[in-house]
Amino acid sequence: MVMKNAKNAHFWQIDHKIKNILEVKGVTILPSPEAWEKFKWTRKWLVKKPKQGYFIWIKNQVNFPLFACISIAHKNIRQELRNLLIIEENLKISLQGTCNALKKNLSGTHEAQGKIILKQGSSLKYSHIHSWGEKDIVEPNYEFILGKDSKLDYGYKTLFAPKKLRINNLFNLSAGASCNIKITANCVQTKAEIKDILFLKGKGASGIINLRLVGGKDSKVLARSQIVADSESKGHLDCQGLLTDKKSEISLIPELVCKHKLAQITHEASIGKISQEQLNYLRTRGLTEKQATDLIINGFLKI
């Protein structure tokens, strides 16, 4: 399903090669090394000259979803991506980012560092979808910089989790900015470390982080989520884990740091298992135990 769409991608990279870049009016799309050469100001965000990755600079309103796709197609590929997305003031943008392995046994490494910059009053709906093989190592590391009164709706989902998954997200919110973060991962034989920091810098900033993590088939999942309130702002963490086998482990560590007396920050965290009652119920609806388990997991991962 992912590859069928890739042909329509505005930026499409396979292994280390740019497969395609589609022109969009009012948008500059380039490989990030080229942007680093062409636009000196990008060096504020891309410290070193990147080896690979995308640069997407949105200057005018685009009324359809933009699509970036980065795939691994061959064995033992190591991608070191440096991505930069900039949305100019008051634009309302939708983006789908898909990163995947085209086969299950490629033993690839996908290391991505990115900066997503939303300028004043802009809005981004970003659907970030990952689908990996069982031997891959995946390390996305993104910083979201939200300008005044900007709005981010970010959903990260792993359809198939890799062997190792290390996620680092930092959300920096200026005054009046808001974000709704949804991170879902169905971990099967996966070692996952997920770290999210929501930094409420400006007055009136608000954000929610929702985590839904499934640990199955000998998985080890560690999620640290933090809200730091530096102003009169609001934030909430909702971390939930679901263990689906005896050998797996999930650790959820929510942390609240309040540096302003008028800030309101809260959290909730829970880890549960699939109840026998739910399984039996669905089996009396004709589903096998496996089908019932999958349905319950899919439901849990929907936020």
Partner 1 sequence: MLLEIKDLKVQGNGKEILKGINLQIKKGDVQVLLGPNASGKSTLCHAILGSPKYRITQGKILFRGKEITRLTPEKRVKLGLALSFQSPPVIKGVKIFQLLERISSTGSLQFKKNEPHLLKRDVNLDFSGGEKKISELLQVLSLNPKLVIFDEVDSGLDLKRVKKVAEMIKKELICKKISVLLITHSGAILNFLKPRITNVMVSGKIICKEKNYKKVLKTIKKYGYEKCKKCPFLAD
Provide the binding-site residues for partner 1, judged by CB under 8 A. 275-278, 280-288, 295-296, 298-303
- Please, are residues 70 and 98 in contact by the beta-carbon 8 Å criterion? yes
Distance CA 1, CA 234 (A): 38
Supply the angle between the helices 289-301 and 276-283 in degrees, to the nearest 10. 120
Q: What angle do CA 24, 171, 140 make, to 5 degrees?
A: 70
Residue labelled with tokens 């879902």: 184
Nearest distance from C-beta of residue 138 to partner 1, angstroms: 25
Q: In angstroms, what is the minimal distance from the CB of 273 to partner 1? A: 13
Q: How far apart are CA 146 and CA 177, in angstroms?
A: 6
CB of 287 to partner 1, least distance (A): 6
CB of 121 to partner 1, least distance (A): 33
Identity of the residue, 76 or 298, whose beta carbon is nearer to partner 1 in the bound complex: 298
Smallest gap, in angstroms, from Cβ of residue 212 to partner 1?
A: 9
Decide whether 49 or 283 has the Cβ nearer to partner 1.
283
Q: Which is nearer to partner 1, 63 or 284 (CB)?
A: 284
CB of 99 to partner 1, least distance (A): 24
- CB crowding 207-240: b at 16 or more within 10 Å, else e: bbbbbbbbbbeebbbbbbbbbbbbbbbbbbbbbb
Would you say 7 or 273 has its CB closer to partner 1? 273
Q: How far is the CB of 211 from partner 1 (least distance, A)?
A: 14
Residue type, 21: I
d(CA 118, CA 73): 32
Q: How far is 271 from 156, CA to CA, in rounded Å?
A: 20
DSSP state, 7?
A: T
Q: Which is nearer to partner 1, 23 or 277 (CB)?
A: 277
263 φ, ψ to 5°? -80, 145
Of 17 and 302, the one with the shorter C-beta distance to partner 1 is 302
Torsion (CA) 207, 209, 210, 211 in degrees, nearest 10: 180
Indicate the residue among 56 and 214 with the shorter CB distance to partner 1.
Answer: 214
